[in-house]
Amino acid sequence: MAEIIEGVNTRRIYKLTVFCIVISALLGIAYNAITGEAGDGFSIASYLITALGFFVAVVAAGEWMGLESLDSFSETDLKRGKRYRVEYCEM
Protein backbone atom coordinates (compact mmCIF):
# COMPACT_ATOMS: atom_id res chain seq x y z
CA MET A 1 0.00 0.00 0.00
CA ALA A 2 1.45 3.35 -1.02
CA GLU A 3 0.90 6.53 0.89
CA ILE A 4 0.64 9.72 -1.12
CA ILE A 5 1.82 12.78 0.76
CA GLU A 6 0.76 16.12 -0.63
CA GLY A 7 2.18 19.34 0.71
CA VAL A 8 5.23 20.15 2.76
CA ASN A 9 6.87 17.39 4.80
CA THR A 10 6.90 19.25 8.13
CA ARG A 11 8.51 16.38 10.02
CA ARG A 12 11.56 16.55 7.74
CA ILE A 13 11.81 20.32 8.17
CA TYR A 14 11.53 20.02 11.97
CA LYS A 15 14.24 17.35 12.04
CA LEU A 16 16.57 19.50 9.93
CA THR A 17 15.93 22.52 12.17
CA VAL A 18 16.62 20.62 15.39
CA PHE A 19 19.72 19.06 13.82
CA CYS A 20 21.04 22.53 12.90
CA ILE A 21 20.42 23.89 16.40
CA VAL A 22 22.11 20.91 18.09
CA ILE A 23 25.14 21.01 15.78
CA SER A 24 25.66 24.75 16.26
CA ALA A 25 25.26 24.49 20.05
CA LEU A 26 27.75 21.62 20.23
CA LEU A 27 30.21 23.60 18.13
CA GLY A 28 29.88 26.62 20.44
CA ILE A 29 30.38 24.47 23.55
CA ALA A 30 33.36 22.66 22.01
CA TYR A 31 35.03 25.93 21.00
CA ASN A 32 34.45 27.29 24.51
CA ALA A 33 35.94 24.15 26.07
CA ILE A 34 39.04 24.28 23.86
CA THR A 35 39.82 28.01 23.90
CA GLY A 36 37.93 29.31 26.93
CA GLU A 37 36.30 32.06 24.84
CA ALA A 38 32.54 31.64 25.22
CA GLY A 39 31.66 34.76 23.23
CA ASP A 40 33.73 33.75 20.23
CA GLY A 41 32.40 30.20 20.30
CA PHE A 42 28.80 31.26 20.26
CA SER A 43 29.49 33.89 17.61
CA ILE A 44 30.72 31.08 15.38
CA ALA A 45 27.71 28.97 16.40
CA SER A 46 25.29 31.79 15.54
CA TYR A 47 26.88 32.15 12.10
CA LEU A 48 26.57 28.40 11.60
CA ILE A 49 22.90 28.33 12.56
CA THR A 50 22.22 31.20 10.16
CA ALA A 51 23.94 29.39 7.31
CA LEU A 52 22.24 26.08 8.10
CA GLY A 53 18.91 27.89 8.52
CA PHE A 54 19.27 29.12 4.95
CA PHE A 55 19.76 25.51 3.85
CA VAL A 56 16.58 24.45 5.71
CA ALA A 57 14.70 27.32 4.04
CA VAL A 58 15.87 26.16 0.60
CA VAL A 59 14.73 22.60 1.35
CA ALA A 60 11.35 23.86 2.60
CA ALA A 61 10.91 26.08 -0.45
CA GLY A 62 11.82 23.18 -2.70
CA GLU A 63 9.23 20.95 -1.06
CA TRP A 64 6.61 23.68 -1.24
CA MET A 65 7.30 24.18 -4.95
CA GLY A 66 7.26 20.42 -5.56
CA LEU A 67 10.86 20.09 -6.67
CA GLU A 68 12.53 16.70 -6.40
CA SER A 69 16.08 17.93 -5.83
CA LEU A 70 18.00 21.14 -5.25
CA ASP A 71 19.23 21.00 -8.85
CA SER A 72 15.64 21.34 -10.02
CA PHE A 73 15.76 25.08 -9.28
CA SER A 74 17.85 25.55 -12.41
CA GLU A 75 15.45 23.49 -14.54
CA THR A 76 12.25 25.46 -13.95
CA ASP A 77 10.95 28.26 -16.11
CA LEU A 78 8.73 30.19 -13.69
CA LYS A 79 7.08 32.28 -16.41
CA ARG A 80 5.75 29.29 -18.31
CA GLY A 81 5.63 26.81 -15.45
CA LYS A 82 7.53 24.26 -17.53
CA ARG A 83 10.71 22.38 -16.86
CA TYR A 84 13.57 22.48 -19.26
CA ARG A 85 17.15 21.37 -19.27
CA VAL A 86 19.89 23.59 -20.59
CA GLU A 87 22.86 21.65 -21.86
CA TYR A 88 26.28 23.20 -22.20
CA CYS A 89 27.11 24.17 -25.75
CA GLU A 90 29.86 26.21 -27.32
CA MET A 91 28.91 29.28 -29.28
Write out the residue range of the structural domain in which residue 33 sits.
10-83
Phi first, then psi, for residue 77 (nearest 5°) are: -100, 105
Each residue's pLDDT tens digit in the chain (91 positions)? 666 556 667 787 788 888 888 999 999 999 999 999 989 998 988 998 888 888 878 877 777 766 655 555 555 555 555 555 555 555 5
Whole-number pLDDT of residue 53: 82
Q: Where are the beta strands (DSSP E) in 10-86?
A: 76-77, 82-83
The answer to whether residue 55 is domain-embedded is yes
Whole-number pLDDT of residue 77: 53
The answer to whether residue 88 is domain-embedded is no
The answer to whether residue 3 is domain-embedded is no
Q: Say how many domains are in the chain.
A: 1
Whole-number pLDDT of residue 58: 81
